[in-house]
Structure 1
Amino acid sequence: MTKSELIEVVAERIDIPKNRAYDVVNAIFDAMKDALLQEDRIELRGFGSFSIREYDARVGRNPRTGEEVFVDAKKSVHFKVGKELRERVDVLNEYN
């Protein structure tokens, strides 16, 4: 699902114009971005949580040449799926 598709679904589900749904979706994403930039954790019960993880600097390897490469320390967004969503997706595995 793309952001445009999400906006359409929100507009349909709560019966508002698409331009209003656009504002709602963008406000939610902006709030989430702001929280993550402050390194706050975002928890959406039943869906999952977003947090910032720190990774140490390390020596990696270029897969093409095998040459050792220094990889700088970094921070990255981490998503952990919630129990309810995980269980609902697990049901899909029973049908495959």
Structure 2
Amino acid sequence: MTVTKADLANTLFEQLGLNKREAKEFVELFFEKIRESLESGESVKLSGFGGFSVRDKKSRPGRNPKTGEEVPVTPRRVVTYKASQKVKDRIAKNNVSALDGKPETNQL
């Protein structure tokens, strides 16, 4: 399941009693502030959740997978997310197989 902005707004409506318009506006303003901060090169840290930062990637050689032709990959800015230890711990705790109760292993 994917959580959408509409889902977040609906949760604010149901659990905090905001009206639907206020809840939607709150979610939009929240993400707009994050976008503005990242666009200006600032990092965003959300305590207990993690941090977002902008990273500059250099130009590098790449390869077209269909033709095998070497093509340059242009330099660009990317957003990275680093989960907080709380988030990592909760995900690890919930990574238990529903069938046998044993932790799952990611074997390739």
TM-score calculated relative to the size of structure 1: 0.95
Report what 1:65 is aligned to. Answer: 67
Determine which structure has greater relative contact order: mean sequence separation of CA pairs < 8 Å that are 6+ residues apart, divided by chain length: 1
Unaligned runs of 5+ in 2: 99-108
One-letter code aligned to 1:72: T
One-letter code aligned to 1:93: N
Compute the displacement of 1:94 (Å): 2.5
For 2:55 and 2:15, locate their aligned partners in 1 and report how far apart those are by CA, in whole Å.
34
For 2:61 and 2:7, locate their aligned partners in 1 and report how far apart those are by CA, in whole Å.
41
Q: Which runs of 4+ in 1 moved over 3 A?
A: none
Structure showing greater radius of gyration is: 2
SS at match of 2:94: helix
Q: Give the alignment's Cα RMSD to 1 decimal.
A: 1.0
One-letter code aligned to 1:78: T
The match for 1:37 among 36, 39, 47 is 39
SS at match of 2:89: helix
The match for 1:18 among 17, 20, 27 is 20
Report what 1:91 is aligned to. Answer: 93
> Of Structure 1 and Structure 2, which has the larger fraction of its residues in helix?
1
For 1:40 and 1:12, locate their aligned partners in 2 and report how far apart those are by CA, in whole Å.
33
SS at match of 1:7: helix
SS at match of 1:86: helix
Number of aligned residue pairs: 96
Q: Percent identity?
A: 32
